[in-house]
Amino acid sequence: MRHDFASKEELVTAFTPWCLDILSESIDTFGEARMLLSGGGTPGPAYAKMNEDCTFLDQLEIGLVDERFVGLESDFSNEKLIRTSFSNAPDTQIKGMVHNLEDYAGNLRLLESEYRHFTQRTDMVILGMGPDGHTASIFPDDKPSAEALTTDAYFMNTNAPAHPTQRITCSIELIRNARNIALIITGAQKLEVLENKTLQLPIHTALEKCRNINIFYAE
């Protein structure tokens, strides 16, 4: 389902209560809610609004859909962005993906342990999309990314075309198992890529495999 808005501000105003209502229902059902977030500038305003409006941040566990293999002090760090955006959340409620900067492969094994509960149940995944059709850190023309679209594994190390090139991502298998998925995109250029399925980009595989995606779009 696609939800279209006249402006980014209208998108954020509509998306925030939609998302928080779903997470609140999860708390009523499970006693807690679990959410995986993408980085990037597009969903940032929505995160800031959620931080203001959410009354249950101490019951909301926040993880990442993908990350750059960098330290928390780096401006490239998605974890840094999320911690800044959710400044009202207890530090312990935000879970990063980088646990050992000295060992790229070993870090992935640590992540599989740290994020095991997200593989058991994730209530909300929020995705973005790049103009090249990548989503999460699943990129075109990258062999590990292609595997992330088909593997039964939940986490992969992938290669981005731009610095920092070493990335960590949830696979489509993990994403598709989430109870709810939102894709936030803005701009006519991205919409054109999204709608052109003949390009066969990672976002198109995501749309094919994740039937429960709600798309939030604004020009």
93-110: b or e for each residue (b if 16 or more CB lie within 10 Å)? bbbbbbeeeeeeeebbee
- The residues, any chain, with a CB within 8 Å of residue 215's CB and separated by 6 or more, are 1, 2, 3, 182, 183, 185, 194
pLDDT, position 57: 98
- Which domains does the chain carry? 2-123+136-181 (3.40.50.1360)
pLDDT, position 163: 96
Give the residue ranges of the chain where pLDDT is below 70. none
- Pairing state of beta strands 213-218 and 155-159? unpaired
175's enclosing H/E stretch is: helix 172-176
pLDDT, position 42: 87
d(CA 194, CA 67): 22
Let me know: does 135 contact 112? Beta carbons within 8 Å: no
Other C-beta atoms lying within 10 Å of the C-beta of residue 55:
10
